[in-house]
Structure 1
Amino acid sequence: MSQPSAPIFSAARQRAQRDRFARLPADADFLAPIIAETLIDRLAMVTRRFERTLLIGAHDAALIAHLRQTGTALTIVEAGPRLAAATGAIPVEADAIDLPFASFDLILWPGGLDAVNDVPGALVRLRALLAPDGLLLGTFVGDGSLPRLRRAVMTDGVRSIARLHPQIDLAAIGNLLQRVGFALPVVDVEALTVRYADLFALVRDLRAAGLTSRLDPAPPPLTRDEVARIAIAYIAGADPDARIDEQFRLVHFSGWAPHPGQPQPARRGSATASLTEALKPKS
């Protein structure tokens, strides 16, 4: 019998990061409104009404308010116990949700799939939670993000230790959605460029967005000399205005719980489908 693999991410660090949202100003996380706007826009493509919605993550009060205004019966799950208590969410991690099968018509996951220990298991759970013809719609920070930071932490004089999360690419998530039983999976990427004056401005944004390291075990802290070397390497090649372009690649994904009335997908690789068409409900 094979032994379970060691976790990549620390649940305790995950909870601490999530609870930090409860202490920060509402506008501290610049990514949250961008992701929320995308999810709302894509939901607007769907003409059907979702009576029961599950939201994974209680950090975006504006998104919660929008969903409640639609009249859907909203259930929220949240890994951070303090944030869950402050928002009335169920305190549970995304890959451990234990709710009745087929109890939701819509599941929204605005960030976090990239830091789940058991990604296939989490998606299997969500597939089971959806009623037939229910929709999963989500976003995460994916492969190719933070290229300048990744190069800077490998500069000479810095210990060669894993400090940044592994990243999930488009092909992997698309194949995985199909493997775990989602119909009509669609995955696409939005490249977001942000300009920074220095490393420390980027780190502040990463902390506010809950994107700092959750690796388990935690890597040893950087020394002052290593921080200085990384900071110098990060601003190398800055533009004339002394700013650096950093990139966040937002991977948007969707999939439907199978239903007999849905169109059947074409042979793999034989065609492409637009997101607008994929989000349309059955006739």
Structure 2
Amino acid sequence: MRSLQQHADAAHYIADDMAEDVLERLAFLRHEPASALLVGDMTGAVAAALRRQGVAVTLADPAPMADEIALDEEQPYPVGGFDLIASLGTLDTVNDLPGALVHVRKALAPGGLAIVSIVGAGSAKALREIMLAADGERPAPRIHPMVDVRAGAQLMQRCGFADPVADSRALDVAFRSLSRMVGDLREQGLSACLERGGGAMSKAALARAEAAFTAAADAQGRVVETFEILTLSGWAKALRAPKF
């Protein structure tokens, strides 16, 4: 994905949407962090905006660039005490999501805020149907499991966050070709990441996929794909004991 993002016309509308949402939430909540850890800030928009506000920003990523720290999101973070941790589009592919969220919680300073944005359940419905048509009677695993709103809220509460919130929004994108649809997914790191995926498609399967795309197209020759952006947020506050 990193190399693909270097292309001038690379797709990054999902990263743009997540970055804009994080900044809007911070403004709405009036949370003014002194220090922030940003994971997966692919476009650099969140880091730039926070630095203009005087925030000390640390960049991290599972596949870091030169100015970022390496971060295994399923292991304890090598740094901590942040007033804000924002993870953009990376936590949906970890094997142990509850454990990863616990590490986020522990890396926050008291009163700190975590915002986690991922592509959630309900995404890529059109592509799922196209792939089912292509695979025929033996559908292959091509998309990793995704989290929905209800499960996301339960996870945040389970992992020790105070005042947890989970919500989702739909991002609709129109495509005129199957190759462009698949290309956009690859450029944004949304292609298959399963250890045992479906493997390469045969020429016959690809022809069936192209036919399914054409059949699903509207009068303008477009297939509209939906990406459900799931956002989880919570605070590092002492949880109140239940009253009996």
Q: Which residue is equivalent to 1:256?
A: 235
Residue correspondence of structure 1 range 9-158 to structure 2 within 5 A: 17=1, 19-20=2-3, 23-25=6-8, 28-81=11-64, 84-85=65-66, 88-101=67-80, 103-155=81-133, 157-158=135-136
CA separation of 1:100 and 1:198: change in aligned 2, threshold 3 A? closer
Residue correspondence of structure 1 range 221-240 to structure 2 within 5 A: 221-240=200-219
Q: Distance in 2 between matches of 1:112 and 1:73?
A: 22
CA separation of 1:63 and 1:232: change in aligned 2, threshold 3 A? same
Superimposed CA distance per residue, residues 141-164 of structure 1 (whole angstroms, 9 cap, x where no aligned partner): 101111111111111654421011
Amino acid across the alignment from 2:131? V
User: Which residue among 143, 157, 162 is the counterpart of 1:164?
Assistant: 143
1:187 lines up with 2:169 in the alignment: no
Q: How far is the alpha carbon of 1:227 from its aligned partner? A: 1.2
In structure 1, list runs of 5 or more residues that go unmatched.
1-16, 268-283
Q: Which residue is equivalent to 2:187?
A: 208
Kept after mapping to 2: 8 A contact 1:56/1:94: no
Superimposed CA distance per residue, residues 10-47 of structure 1 (whole angstroms, 9 cap, x where no aligned partner): xxxxxxx3x33553338631211111111111110122
TM-score computed with the length of structure 1 as normaliser: 0.79
Q: Which residue is equivalent to 1:10?
A: none
TM-score computed with the length of structure 2 as normaliser: 0.91
SS of residue matched to 2:87: strand
Q: Which residue is equivalent to 1:276?
A: none
Q: How far is the alpha carbon of 1:117 from its aligned partner? A: 1.3
Q: Distance in 2 between matches of 1:179 and 1:94?
A: 18
Q: Distance in 2 between matches of 1:64 and 1:45?
A: 18
Kept after mapping to 1: 8 A contact 2:161/2:235: yes
What is the root-mean-square deviation of aligned Cα atoms in Å?
2.2
Q: How far is the alpha carbon of 1:93 from its aligned partner? A: 2.9
Kept after mapping to 1: 8 A contact 2:166/2:233: yes
SS of residue matched to 2:224: strand
SS of residue matched to 1:168: coil
Once the two structures are aligned, what percentage of the paired residues are identical?
36
User: Which residue among 200, 221, 226 is the counterpart of 1:247?
Assistant: 226
Amino acid across the alignment from 1:49? E
Kept after mapping to 1: 8 A contact 2:5/2:11: no
User: Which residue among 178, 200, 207 is the counterpart of 1:199?
Assistant: 178
Amino acid across the alignment from 1:36? A
Q: Distance in 2 between matches of 1:245 and 1:49?
A: 38
Q: How far is the alpha carbon of 1:241 from its aligned partner? A: 0.9
Kept after mapping to 1: 8 A contact 2:10/2:187: no
Kept after mapping to 2: 8 A contact 1:21/1:59: no
CA separation of 1:22 and 1:200: change in aligned 2, threshold 3 A? closer
Q: How far is the alpha carbon of 1:113 from its aligned partner? A: 1.7
Q: Distance in 2 between matches of 1:123 and 1:97?
A: 10
How many aligned residue pairs are there?
242
Superimposed CA distance per residue, residues 109-158 of structure 1 (whole angstroms, 9 cap, x where no aligned partner): 11122111110110010000011111001211101111111111111654
CA separation of 1:133 and 1:240: change in aligned 2, threshold 3 A? same
